[in-house]
Amino acid sequence: MAAPRRFWMVKGSGPANFPHDSRASAEREAERLARCNPGKCFFVLEAVTAHVRHDVHRIVLTDAEAIPDDELPF
């Protein structure tokens, strides 16, 4: 899994689903939305942490003498 990247989102009265790569990009979008929607409030949100649970890790090993799948004893 690739390392999570920092991102920002704009939240208004509807769903927020576009991750911005920079705070400046999110700020510009919030300003654009505010101009198009007088009286509505738009928040710039920053992802600050990420949590992942890992139960099983599969590690593929290179082995010249590996048993082919069709010959496994189980």
Query: Residue 43's domain spans which residues?
Result: 8-71
pTM of the predicted model, to two decimals? 0.66
Q: CA 46, CA 20: separation in Å to the nearest integer?
A: 9
Domain total in the chain: 1
Selection from 49, 36, 41, 39 nearest residue 10 by Cα: 41
Neighbouring C-beta atoms of residue 30, cutoff 10 Å: 21
How far, CA to CA in Å, does 63 sit from each of 19, 23, 58?
A: 42, 47, 15
- 46 part of a folded domain: yes
Q: What is the pLDDT of residues 4-40, one digit of tens each?
A: 899 999 999 888 889 999 999 999 999 999 999 999 9
- 1 part of a folded domain: no
- 52 part of a folded domain: yes
- 29 part of a folded domain: yes
- 3 part of a folded domain: no
Q: Which two tokens stand for residue 22?
A: 């920079």
Q: What is the pLDDT of residue 2?
A: 79
Q: Is 9 helix (H, G, I), strand (E, B) or coil?
A: strand
